[in-house]
Amino acid sequence: MSNSFTNQVLAQMELWQNATKYQKKVYILPKHLDEKVARLHLKRIGVDLTVLTQQQADYLRVPVAGPYKPEHYRY
């Protein structure tokens, strides 16, 4: 439940900070915000995430800091 609430708060912050970027319609939460929520919650429960090396990121063709999945990917 706290993940859902955090998703909603980050979405509201995104809309507030970038209001001109969005029209009045339904949007899916961007992957970078979804992954930020995951990092925040994992940190809170004591999970240490490893960070990709540049070599790993290049191999996977993703940025070192993410997002790691394309926008169309649904978990």
CA distance 63 to 68: 7
Residue 75 pLDDT greater than 90, yes or no: no
Query: What SS3 state is found at 60?
Result: helix
Measured in degrees and rounded to the nearest 5, phi and psi for residue 29 equal -60, 130
Tell me which of 59 and 1 has the higher pLDDT.
Answer: 59
Tell me which of 1 and 55 has the higher pLDDT.
Answer: 55
Q: What pLDDT, on the 0 to 100 scale, is given for residue 9?
A: 92
This prediction's pTM: 0.66
Q: What pLDDT, on the 0 to 100 scale, is given for residue 27?
A: 86
Contact 40, 10 (CB under 8 A): no
pLDDT tens track for 3-52: 888 889 999 999 999 999 999 999 888 888 888 888 889 888 999 888 89
